[in-house]
């Protein structure tokens, strides 16, 4: 009985050391386990089409929905990139869409296309990725007000969102490397 406890304890310690080592070293295969990349062709294609860093686009999707196409927030945001139907309807008009249905936002291809277009629009408007991410999270009206007041991001939730998307972007860059930029 004592021997079993010693062996069990040694195995548990070894597993703990191995886990901590992997968490510290963060090899690509390990990070891919924790940060999956679903809909890779869609992400890559729309990143290319809208001249976005594919790691950034993947990070926004991860942070918004964890790549769950059926995600819906309490505020009514829908799909992979958590677009509000009113925002998506405006994007549909700007991109030549003739008919818009909220159910379209559950379609990964449409959702990522609209979200990528919107992210590109925000980057062009603000000329700064961090500010664009803040607007993606908190809305353009809030960001415009903060900027006109000469201040930075006023919402702690939005500051955390921007920081987390930037961290996840670097994780995707390390984990998927050139594969995402093919």
Structure tokens at 69: 């196409």
3-class SS shares of the chain: helix, strand, coil, % to 5: 75, 0, 25
- DSSP helix/strand/coil, 72: strand
54 CB burial (10 A radius; 0-12, 13-18, 19+): buried
Active site residues: 64
Using CA atoms, how far residue 80 sits from 8, 23, 145, 167, in Å, is 43, 27, 28, 19
């Amino acid at each position: 009985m004592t021997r079993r406890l010693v062996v069990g304890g040694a195995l548990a310690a070894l597993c703990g050391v191995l886990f901590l080592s992997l968490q510290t070293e963060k090899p690509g295969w390990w990070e891919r386990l924790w940060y999956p990349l679903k809909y890779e062709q869609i992400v890559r294609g729309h990143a290319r089409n809208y001249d976005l860093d594919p790691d950034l686009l993947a990070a926004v999707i991860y942070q918004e929905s964890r790549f769950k196409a059926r995600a819906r927030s309490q505020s009514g945001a829908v799909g992979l990139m958590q677009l509000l139907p009113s925002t998506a309807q405006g994007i549909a008009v700007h991109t030549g869409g003739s008919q818009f249905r909220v159910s379209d936002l559950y379609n990964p291809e449409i959702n990522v296309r609209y979200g990528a277009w919107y992210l590109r629009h925000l980057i062009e408007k603000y000329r700064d990725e961090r500010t664009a991410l803040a607007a993606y999270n908190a809305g353009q009206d809030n960001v415009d007000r903060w900027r006109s007041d000469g201040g930075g991001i006023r919402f702690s939730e939005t500051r955390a969102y921007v920081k987390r998307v930037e961290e996840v972007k670097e994780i995707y860059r390390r984990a998927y490397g050139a594969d995402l930029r093919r």
